A and B are shown apart, each in its own frame.
Chain A
């Protein structure tokens, strides 16, 4: 009973997060300017991290948590570096 509730809801959540990642990809391809693409990339990072967390919950393996943490750190660093590049034209001055 509880196993079927949990597996169906986690599958639905994975599908919703997958649709959200596809939408972020569409905005990243269509985005009229560079800042739109960077916002879409940031959203894509967050959605991928959440998808990995839900996958870890559905398999009950806590090691996926560390992968999600690494993805969120990489998303922060890459978005900050790209914003700095848009502002100044170079990342490290």
Chain B
């Protein structure tokens, strides 16, 4: 850690708070993946890591590299947009597939 010596303290504290918030929310989402009972409850849990988990870490990364290089560094927004767009698509595809499998086995899944 030699590069961060010239970093101002407020930037270090703000980056630390954002990164710890993101990592903590990701861990909470993973714990929900482990503890919830049915599949249809479990599919909600990892989205916590995909929205504010990724968002906090990416905002912290934008702030850190913007202050370190003293110019706007915004390429992390690409990952944020991509994750935000693709996560609902994949999880809805997966839930459709799970509903199809459960119905074809004769389980009673209520109509939406």
Tell me if A54 and B19 are in contact (CB < 8 A): yes
Q: How large is the interface on B (under 10, 10 to 19, 20 to 34, 35 or more residues)?
A: 35 or more
Most chain A Cβ neighbours within 10 Å, of B4, B11, B101: B4
A92 within 8 A of B: no
How many A residues face the partner with a CB closer than 8 A?
54
- What's the Cα separation between A73 and B90 when bound, in Å? 12
Q: A65-B79, A83-B90 are known contacts. Are A39 and B97 too (CB-CB below 8 A)?
A: no
Tell me if A46 and B53 are in contact (CB < 8 A): yes
> Please, which residues of chain A bring their CB within 8 A of the CB of B75?
62, 65
> Please, which residues of chain A bring their CB within 8 A of the CB of B9?
1-2, 5
Most chain A Cβ neighbours within 10 Å, of B49, B76, B78: B49
Interface residues of B (CB under 8 A from A): 1-5, 7-9, 11-13, 15-16, 19-20, 22-24, 26-27, 29-31, 33-34, 39, 42-43, 45-46, 49-50, 53-54, 57-58, 60-61, 64-65, 68, 73, 75-76, 78-79, 82-83, 86-87, 89-91, 93-94, 96-98, 100-101
